Amino acid sequence: MHRYTPDLYCHNIADVPFASLAKKNIVNICLDVDNTLAKRDSLLIDYQTIKALDNARKKGHIKNICIVSNIIWGHSREERVRKIAEQLEIEHYFAARFWERKPGAKPFLEAMRMMNSQPENTAIIGDQIFTDVLGGKRLGLYTILVRPLGEDHWTTRLTGRRRREMHILKHIGFE
């Protein structure tokens, strides 16, 4: 069960205690897109999220951010990730294709390479246990699970991942 247990569970990105993380030298952040930063297929990012990330960067609680998103395929999906990174003034992003997607190591390793970071000073913030938390745990990243912002992709519903996640969250006392 440990590999599915996030180190921290927050309502959303605005609730993440970046100052506390910085005290632990966790200053490099991998951010998921769909249902973490923005609702699926949307470019709109909540003002509180933007404000929280900006404040944490200005105060030095965040050194680097890299967006890490499973796009599976398609130029338009990669373009969306790029636009979100641009909107948030985030230099680094990795749009993972089908064969290199989370929870595999490549997206996280690429993000850490771009940020020049190590697992012990890097966190992943995402809304899914079976991609974000599991992938981060495999590499020793600090894992932060947030509640999904909106509806899941049909593949998430088809596989029943959210139902299994809810069972895990209840088992570990987060829900």
CATH numbers and ranges of domains, the chain? 2-171 (3.40.50.1000)
| Torsion angle defined by CA atoms of residues 96, 102, 104 and 109, in that order, rounded to the nearest 10 degrees | 60
What's the predicted TM-score (pTM) here? Answer: 0.88
Q: Which residue has the tokens 């991942």?
A: 161
Structure tokens at 145: 């699970």
Q: How many CB atoms lie within 10 A of CB 14?
A: 16
d(C-alpha 92, C-alpha 81), whole Å: 10
Task: State residue 170's pLDDT score.
Answer: 72
Burial 57-87 (b: 16+ CB within 10 A, else e): beeebbbbbbbbbbbeeeeebbebbeebbee
Task: State residue 157's pLDDT score.
Answer: 55
d(C-alpha 70, C-alpha 131), whole Å: 9
| Tens of pLDDT, residue by residue, the chain (175 residues) | 588 899 999 999 999 999 999 999 999 999 999 999 999 888 999 999 999 999 999 999 999 999 999 886 667 788 999 999 999 999 999 988 877 888 999 999 999 999 999 999 999 999 999 899 999 999 999 999 999 986 655 565 556 666 667 767 676 776 6
